[in-house]
């Protein structure tokens, strides 16, 4: 057991884990507050990646700057989707069960709509660009600058999310809302505000993840779906409705993946991820943290 080897696995695991955490928090917010099953979450990642790509190749705007553009535009898309499709549906729905299944269908429609519009507009070509590809050595372990950058950004954003959800009034309201919808409404929390915030925050975070991913992964119109599934896995790992759990779950999943890929081969990565997922959901359906960390 070479310590360098362990550190290498740890580092690559953290890079992917940070991105998984970003995706999962958004998905969890949408499910936790509104009980909507967002199958189209990965498509926002795709959109974020494409926005970054076009801004970089056409306008020459560096991905460091386009992070902010992506955040704002994806948040706006989130607001538009909420206003247009879900505002009246959440108000009028009779039971949680119908809301869950209807939202699954609407998001499925959105998902095929978004990915095929992207395919029509920008063709199905696999795209990519090179940015910050210099290699940096951290304690003797080589890592590309763009991955390091992605790691730092995702860590910072995760910390910001944590602070937002645990230290501010808005975050506390959101968590209270996830815990008990009716009781929190009695204390004066306006559901409309919570819904708006969680939709825009979730979509913005997914866009950010796409922006970061685009720096070192290929971009296609159909790249989103695997990430949607990964996001679900992460959410289940950390516990549905448990935001902090998703943050930690993302990193845990990243580490498990990088360890597993190192011990076997990259082809086994999906099998490994799904077996972890099926195992967790069957053994501990409330997530590995249960209801411990809220």
CB of 256 to another protein, least distance (A): 15
| Residue closer to another protein (CB basis): 142 or 270 | 270
Q: Which two tokens stand for residue 42?
A: 């990965």
What minimum distance in Å lies between the beta carbon of 78 and another protein? 16
User: Which residue has 């989103």 as its token pair?
Assistant: 224
Nearest to another protein of 98, 133 (CB atom): 98
Task: Tell me whether residue 125 or residue 166 sits nearer to another protein (CB atom).
Answer: 125
Q: Which is nearer to another protein, 80 or 138 (CB)?
A: 80
In the complex, least distance from residue 253 CB atom to another protein, rounded to whole angstroms:
13
Q: DSSP readout, 131-146?
A: -S--EEEETTEEEEHH
Contacts of residue 235, defined as CB under 8 A and 6 or more positions apart, other chains included, come to 24, 27, 28, 31, 246, 249
Indicate the residue among 88 and 179 with the shorter CB distance to another protein: 88
CB of 279 to another protein, least distance (A): 10
SS3 22: helix
Question: Which tokens go with 100?
Answer: 């869950």
Q: Which of 228-249 are b and which e, b meaning 16 or more Cβ less than 10 Å from the residue's Cβ?
A: bbbbbbbbbbbbbbbbbbbbbb
Residues near another protein (CB under 8 A): 31, 35, 37, 85, 89, 97-98, 100-102, 104-106, 108-113, 116-117, 120, 225, 229, 232-233, 236, 240, 267-268, 270-271, 274-275, 277-278, 281-282, 285
Minimum distance, C-beta of residue 238 to another protein, in the bound complex (Å): 13
Minimum distance from CB of 214 to another protein (Å)? 23
Scored b (16 or more CB within 10 A) or e, 82-116 reads beebbeeebeebeeeeebeeebeebbeebbeebbe
Residue with Cβ nearer another protein (39 or 209)? 39
Q: Which is nearer to another protein, 89 or 259 (CB)?
A: 89
**How many whole angstroms separate alpha carbon 288 and alpha carbon 140?**
33
CA distance 92 to 219: 38
**Residue 127 or 286 with smaller CB distance to another protein:** 286
Shortest CB 160 distance to another protein, Å: 27
Query: What is the smallest separation between the CB atom of 274 and another protein, expressed in angstroms?
Result: 4
Nearest to 12 by CA among 114, 144, 105, 102: 144
Task: Decide: 27 and 37 in contact? Cβ < 8 Å.
Answer: no
Chain position carrying tokens 């249960």: 290
- Residue 35 has phi, psi (to 5 degrees) of 60, 40
**d(C-alpha 182, C-alpha 177), whole Å:** 8
């Amino acid at each position: 057991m070479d310590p360098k080897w362990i550190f290498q696995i740890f580092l690559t695991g953290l890079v992917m884990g940070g991105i998984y955490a970003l995706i999962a928090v958004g998905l969890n917010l949408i499910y936790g507050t509104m009980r909507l099953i967002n199958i189209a979450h990965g498509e926002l990642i795709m959109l974020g990646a494409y926005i970054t790509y076009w801004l970089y190749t056409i306008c020459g705007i560096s991905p460091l700057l386009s992070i902010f553009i992506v955040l704002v535009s994806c948040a706006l898309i989130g607001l538009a989707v909420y206003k247009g499709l879900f505002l009246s549906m959440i108000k009028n729905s009779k039971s949680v069960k119908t809301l869950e299944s209807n939202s699954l269908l609407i998001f499925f429609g959105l998902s095929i709509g978004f990915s095929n519009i992207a395919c029509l507009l920008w063709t199905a070509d696999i795209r990519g660009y090179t940015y910050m590809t210099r290699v940096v050595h951290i304690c003797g372990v080589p890592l590309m600058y763009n991955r390091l950058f992605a790691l730092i950004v995702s860590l910072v954003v995760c910390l910001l999310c944590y602070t937002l959800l645990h230290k501010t009034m808005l975050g506390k309201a959101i968590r209270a809302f996830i815990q008990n919808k009716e009781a929190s409404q009695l204390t004066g929390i306006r559901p409309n505000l919570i819904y708006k915030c969680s939709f825009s925050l979730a979509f913005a975070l997914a866009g950010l993840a796409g922006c970061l991913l685009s720096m070192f992964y290929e971009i296609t119109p159909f790249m989103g779906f695997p990430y949607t599934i990964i996001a679900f896995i992460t959410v289940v790992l950390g516990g549905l409705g448990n935001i902090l759990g998703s943050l930690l779950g993302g990193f845990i999943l990243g580490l498990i993946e990088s360890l597993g890929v190192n011990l076997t081969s990259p082809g086994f990565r999906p099998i490994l991820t799904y077996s972890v997922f099926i195992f967790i959901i069957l053994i501990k359906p409330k997530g590995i943290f249960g209801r411990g960390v809220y």
